[in-house]
Amino acid sequence: MKNLLIIGVLAIQCISTNAFAEMPISSTSSSISSDLVTTMPAAVLLHSQTNSEIKDDDYEMSQQVNQSEKDTARLIMVAQDIVRTFGTELKVTLVGKMKTEGPVAAIQVCNVKAPIIAEKYSSDGWDVGRTSTKLRNTSNYPDEWENAILDQFAAQLTTGVDIDDLEVSAIMDGEYRYMKAIAMDGPCLICHGENLSPVVAKEISRLYPQDKAIEYKLGEMRGAFTLRFKL
Ligand code: HEC
């Protein structure tokens, strides 16, 4: 029975909102917490077992499901908390530096400090980073799943979903994965907007000759926070 549940939980994959509504085996839907349903618009549980096999041991199943719900809900809360504090620290450090020493010096904050700050939050089994479809630092390259989620977020934005509500959780390949969209804010325009000052543009192209992370507009999706936790 334990194996059954693990297979089910590990098989959660992000496909599409509609696919989630058509989750193939309803009795296992409770292994996704209600939190996860709201925060995971794109998740679907692909189960390799049949309903009749599951019915045999409903009580044991429900005990395991409850534990799994708790674990998943806890992971979501931790991920959301990491993103909140990581995002705030990045912004505060960046805006502080821009105020005191100007944008060119602040590029250093992103260039040098952003990866260090990300590293700081990558503790206790968590791997914390940022990604985007238009990159500045190529080492932030999205993997296949991240790419699919970025596309999905972009599609959801065109249907009027609020950017602050775009987040996704999934469990796959023995990992919990979490992504949350990042919006372009006022100060971001200085280094990612349409009208970079010549000094800023020069410094960015010196450090990132392949830079693609410009010409964003206020409120647009710049990319996403991306977290992983080995289960
Ligand atoms: C002072 C210039 C500057 C400002 C202002 C700035 N950034 Fe950046 N941003 C950078 C640099 C430089 C990098 C590359 C960091 C690295 O090497 O990891 C970067 C990288 C990123 C990345 C990682 C993906 C990638 O393209 O490598 C995201 C996401 C991002 N910035 C979002 C933002 C947001 C959101 C804001 C506003 C809150 C913002 N940035 C403001 C300079 C800036």
Residues, the chain = 231
In this prediction, residue 69 carries a pLDDT of: 76
Provide CB contacts within 8 A for 132, sequence distance 6+.
140, 142, 150, 213, 222, 223, 224
Structure tokens at 103: 């944008």
Q: Which residues pair with 170 in a beta bridge?
A: 177
Q: What does 105-160 look like in DSSP terms, one character per residue?
A: HHHHIIIIIHHHHHHHH--TTEEEEEE-SS-SSGGG---HHHHHHHHHHHHHHHTT
Give distance in angstroms: CA of 213 to centre of ligand 1: 8
Count other Cβ atoms within 10 Å, centred on residue 144: 7
The reported pLDDT for the residue numbered 60 is 62
Q: 85 CA to middle of ligand 1, Å?
A: 16
Please list the residues that pair with 126 across neighbouring strands.
Answer: 229
Q: Can you spell out the DSSP letters for 169-199?
A: EEEETTEEEEEEEEE--GGGHHHHSSS--HH
Q: How far is the CA of 104 from the centre of ligand 1 (A)?
A: 13
- Tell me the C-alpha distance between 198 and 210, whole Å: 17
pTM over 0.75: yes
Which residues lie with the beta carbon below 6 Å from any ligand 1 atom?
91, 94, 103, 106-107, 110-111, 114-115, 130, 132, 135-137, 140, 182, 184-185, 187-188, 190-192, 213, 222-223
Nearest to 180 by CA among 230, 221, 139, 136: 221
pLDDT the model gives residue 42: 39
- In testing the pocket of ligand 1, which one of 113, 136, 202, 205 has its CB within 8 Å of the most ligand atoms? 136
- Find the 169 Cα to ligand 1 centroid distance in Å: 24
Give the closest residue (by CA) to ligand 1 atom 5.
188
- Give strand pairing partners of 13: 44
Low-confidence ranges of the chain (pLDDT < 70): 1-65
What pLDDT, on the 0 to 100 scale, is given for residue 41? Answer: 40
Under 8 Å between Cβ of 189 and 201: no
Each domain of the chain, given as residue ranges in start order, spans 2-70, 72-230
pLDDT in tens, 55-112: 455 656 566 667 777 788 899 999 999 999 999 999 999 899 999 999 998 898 788 8
Pocket-testing residue among 88, 95, 110, ligand 1, by greatest number of atoms within 8 A of Cβ: 110
Model pLDDT, residue 214: 97
pLDDT value at residue 108: 81
Q: How far apart are CA 86 and CA 199, in angstroms?
A: 28
Q: Are 195 and 163 in contact (CB under 8 A)?
A: no
